[in-house]
Structure formats: structure tokens, C-alpha cells
Amino acid sequence: MRVVITGGAGFIGRHLARKLLERGELAGADGKPRKIGEIVLVDIVEAAPFPKPDSRLTVMAGDIADEKFTAGVMTPDTDSVFHLAAVVSAAAEADFDLGMHVNLDGTRAVLEACRKLSAPPRVVFASSVAVFGGDMPSTLTDQTALTPQTSYGVQKAIGELLVNDMSRKGFIDGRALRLPTIVVRPGKPNKAASTFASSIIREPLAGQEAVCPVEADARMWYLSPRRVVEAFIHAHDLPASAWGWNRSLTLPGIDVSVGDMVESLRRVAGERFVKRIRWEPDPVIKRIVAGWPYRFAPERALKMGFKADKNMDEIIAAHIEDELGGKPVD
Ligand SMILES: NC(=O)c1ccc[n+]([C@@H]2O[C@H](COP(=O)([O-])OP(=O)(O)OC[C@H]3O[C@@H](n4cnc5c(N)ncnc54)[C@H](O)[C@@H]3O)[C@@H](O)[C@H]2O)c1
């Protein structure tokens, strides 16, 4: 089978590709496992080569909002699409036109190209808990209305509705996952307002100093890279009947304060790592983070078999194992 990952040069896209190569199969349209023959990594930048070259990987560089390019990506033998390409939260907020271009026009172009295939492909779309905002209940449920308060959140909410409608029409077999903040993200800080949540763990463990721009009581809804990749694959492999008329859900996560994250770092790695965090509150970041939902009751997702991490200690230990070869830098 042929699998397309948009945003395939990005953080989650690469992790997902690696896991799919390792697994070697996905559910086909009839629900039975099928061997993956090709994974196409589509991105505006060329995906860097994988440490272990694999003949099943193809790289295509271009703009997903360019209809001609995206139509060319979705060759008739495409079975499944993971649509992850996006301009992330703070970048979409800073540049309205860019956010609309990639997150809205790009999503539309991807879905239209899918619609033109002879058989409706399975499409898994990366949405975000940023679709919620404003006056929210203390615990968000599967019934909480989408009331985004950022352009990024609006673009993701529209994407979800399109995935729902095109599935209802039978153009695609879509699924949309509202992702919590993913920690610990490897690499460098990015333009997401949440980037510090990874920095305060990743940098100290890599022997560097990190700046924490919020107070210890700031809370967020988290999921690890391992679990988010599992969730994408699980979402893909569930039959259409498990989704029914509602193709979107909020992924399970854990609600943790920044202070508790630091305690986890202390327990898992030790005091000398915690000392590398400098607390420098930034009013802008504090205000953005304070507006984010952090407590959910994701019953539908749990019933459908999606899983959260046990706790932050487990997430940090997994990061040390996966990204630091089992040993933090002293
Ligand atoms: N990581 C998180 O905490 C998180 C939380 C909620 C939602 N999400 C969503 O999950 C998805 C993946 O996130 P990520 O953390 O891997 O982000 P990322 O920024 O690492 O990856 C996104 C990729 O999209 C690519 N891209 C941007 N514009 C493009 C265009 N016009 N055409 C083709 N490719 C383009 C970028 O080059 C990048 O490689 C995104 O849709 C994001 O909005 C992520």
C-alpha cells in the first residue's frame, strides 16, 4: 500500500514514518493488515535522510496549498494519508495570511486531491486542542463546543469540519485527532507558544540552560511523542464504523503543572538538571498559556482504545531512552 505523510519532514511526521517502517503494515480498506510498499514524505522543505536508509521511503518537496503539486502527490494508488503539514500556533497567529494559506487552503487542497482518487482513502488529520478557547467549562468533554480564540485554532476547526463533511459524502474515510501539547519534542525550540514545555526538560538533560517563561502553577494537557504516534496509527486502523458520524475527537493526555514537571525531572534525572532552569516569567506567553484548556474528560477516545501516558516521569524517561541513548548529559 502507498501511504502519504504531509508535514513528513516535521517532528511528528518523521516519528510516524519511522514507526510505520518498523511496523511494516497498516489496515487496508477492508480492515485486514496490508504491507506498506511506499511511504511518501511530503513537505515544503526536503525531509532529511533517515539514519537507516529504506527503499520504501520517497521524499517530495513542495507546497501542499499548490493544487497541482498536491494532485501529483496523490497518485491513483494512494491508500492512506496522514495530513500533518501546518504552520504551528504562534507562527499562524503572527502571520494571518500564511496560516490561512497552509492550514486552510493547504488542507482543502489535500482533501480535494484525496477526493479525486478512485477509492476513498483513509485520511488522518492532525487537529489541536486549540479549537477550544474563551469561556470554557473547568473540564472539557466530548460535547464541549469548538470556540477557538486564535487563527490557528479556527483553521484547525475548519479542517475538522471538512474532514467530517467529506467523510459523510463518502469522498474520504477521515479521522481528526485533537492533539494535546506533545512533550518532550526533540531538536530545537520552535515557534509554538508551548515550546518552553519541551525546553525545560530537553535542554537541562542535554547539558544546557533553559528559560521557563511561566510560573510553576501553569497547567497544560500533555502527550508524549511515543503515544501520539501510536494514536495516529490506531486512528487509522479503526474501522469507519467505530467513528460513525463524528470523525473528530480529543486525544487522552495528562494534566500537569510546570512545577510538577520540574519535580518529575528531579526524580528521574536529579537536582543538578533542575538547576539548569532559569525562571523568567514572560507576560505574553503567560497570558497565552493561561487561555489554554488543560483538563479534559476524553471518554469517547478512551472507549475507542486511545491511551495517555501514565505520568510525566514516564514521558521524561522515554525521552532519555529514545533521544539521549539512555543517559542525560552531565
Ligand atoms: N507538536 C505539538 O505539540 C502539536 C500539538 C497540536 C497539534 N499539532 C499538529 O500536529 C501536526 C504536526 O506537528 P509537528 O509538531 O510535527 O510540527 P512541525 O512544525 O514539526 O511539522 C509541520 C511540518 O509542516 C511543514 N509545512 C509547513 N508549511 C507547509 C506547506 N505549505 N507545504 C508542505 N509542508 C509544509 C513544515 O515544514 C513542517 O515540517 C501539525 O499539524 C500541528 O499543527 C502538533
Instruction: Check if the beta carbon of residue 300 is closer than 8 Å to that of residue 244.
Output: no
Is the pLDDT reported for residue 122 higher than 90? yes
pTM of the model as a whole: 0.97
Atom nearest to 64 CA in ligand 1 = 32
Report the pLDDT value the prediction gives residue 143, as an integer from 0 to 100: 96
Give per-residue pLDDT as tens, 135-147: 999 999 999 999 9
CATH architecture for segment(s) 2-179+223-250: 3-Layer(aba) Sandwich (3.40)
Report the pLDDT value the prediction gives residue 28, as an integer from 0 to 100: 95
Q: Does ligand 1 have an atom closer than 6 angstroms to the CB of 293? A: no
| 10 CA → ligand 1 middle, Å | 6
> Which of 152, 171, 292, 294 is flagged as catalytic?
152
Is the pLDDT reported for residue 287 higher than 90? no
Cis amide linkage into residue 131, ω under 30° from 0: no
Q: What is the mean pLDDT of residues 116-133?
A: 96
| 9 CA → ligand 1 middle, Å | 9
The percentage of residues in the chain with a pLDDT greater than 70, rounded to a whole number, is 100
Position of cell 501539547? Answer: 181
Is the pLDDT reported for residue 133 higher than 90? yes
Is the pLDDT reported for residue 90 higher than 90? no
Ligand 1 atom 10 nearest Cα: 126
State the DSSP code for 49: P
| 191 CA → ligand 1 middle, Å | 11
Report the pLDDT value the prediction gives residue 12, as an integer from 0 to 100: 97
Dihedrals φ, ψ of 169, to 5°? -75, -15
Give per-residue pLDDT as tens, 250-263: 999 999 999 999 99
Report the pLDDT value the prediction gives residue 214, as an integer from 0 to 100: 96
Distance, in Å, from the CA atom of 50 to the CA atom of 135, rounded to the nearest integer, reads 44
Report the pLDDT value the prediction gives residue 190, as an integer from 0 to 100: 85
Q: Does ligand 1 have an atom closer than 6 angstroms to the CB of 124? A: no
The percentage of residues in the chain with a pLDDT greater than 90, rounded to a whole number, is 92
Is the pLDDT reported for residue 191 higher than 90? no
Ligand 1 atom 20 nearest Cα: 10
Task: Strands of the chain (E only): list them.
Answer: 2-6, 25-27, 33-35, 38-43, 57-61, 78-83, 122-128, 173-179, 181-182, 210-212, 219-223, 248-250, 254-257, 277-279
Q: What is the mean pLDDT of residues 63-68?
A: 98
Report the pLDDT value the prediction gives residue 326, as an integer from 0 to 100: 94
- In Å, how far are 149, 153, 159, 178 from 126, measured between CA atoms? 18, 12, 9, 7
222 in active site: no
